Amino acid sequence: MLLIDCPWCGPRDENEFQYGGEAHIARPKDPALLSDAQWADYLFMRGNPKGRHRERWMHRSGCRRWFNVERDTVSHAITAVYRMGEAPPATAKPAATGDATSAEPRSSGDPGQWPAGGAE
């Protein structure tokens, strides 16, 4: 069971929170320009790394605000909590295995059409 340090309310039991999946997947700026493959990547493809994962949580039974968490998907240890719009913490060490792209804000597809996502 996780103990999550809400940036506004402090450490609370996992039960109070709602999980929001992988963080830093920015909505395409100009959706009409996206190819089917780019849509598929945006909507469905995920890094799903074994190791460090940046993800969104919402304090459902508390302040009801969204924020980001950096957590290890093997040990479940939380290594950082930061607010929406804040840059993710500097990369300490890469995930043990898994997907390099998940460590950085996503920018798949054609970067010209699909700007690299900042934090939401």
Partner 1 sequence: MPAARYSIFSLLRNAATYHREWQAAWRSPDPKPAYDVIIVGGGGHGLATAYYLAKEHRISNVAVLEKGWLGGGNTGRNTTIVRSNYLWDESAHLYEHSLKLWESLSQELNFNVMFSPRGVLNLAHNLHDLRELQRRVNAIRLNGIDSEILTTAQVKAMVPILNCSPNIRYPVLGASLQRRGGVARHDAVAWGFARGADALGVDIIQNCEVTGIRREGDRVVGVETTRGFIGAAKIGCVAAGHSSVLASMAGLRLPIESHPLQALVSEPIKPILHTVVMSAAVHVYVSQSDKGELVIGAGIDAFNSYAQRGSLPIIEEIMASACVLFPMFSRLKMLRSWAGIVDVCPDASPIISGTPVKGLYFNCGWGTGGFKATPGSGWVFAHTLAQDRPHPLNAAFSLERFTSGALIDEHGAAAVAH
- What is the Cα–Cα distance from 69 to 72, expressed in whole angstroms? 10
Q: How many chain residues interact with partner 1 (CB under 8 A)? A: 34
Residue number, 40 or 87, with CB nearest to partner 1: 40
In order of 31, 32, 40, the CA distances from 67 in angstroms are 25, 29, 25
- What is the Cα–Cα distance from 118 to 108, expressed in whole angstroms? 13
Member of 75, 90, 92, 111 binding partner 1 (CB under 8 A): 75
- What is the Cα–Cα distance from 49 to 61, expressed in whole angstroms? 28
Stretch of 10-18, 58-66, 80-88, 111-119 contacting partner 1, by CB under 8 A: 10-18
The answer to whether residue 111 forms part of the interface with partner 1 (CB under 8 A) is no
> Footprint of Zn ion on residues 21-60 (CB under 5 A)?
59
- What is the Cα–Cα distance from 109 to 28, expressed in whole angstroms? 10
The answer to whether residue 31 forms part of the interface with partner 1 (CB under 8 A) is no
Task: Find out whether 17 and 59 touch, Cβ atoms under 8 Å.
Answer: yes
Positions in the binding site for partner 1 (CB under 8 A): 1-2, 14-15, 18-19, 21-22, 36-37, 39-41, 43-50, 53, 55, 71, 73-76, 97-101, 108
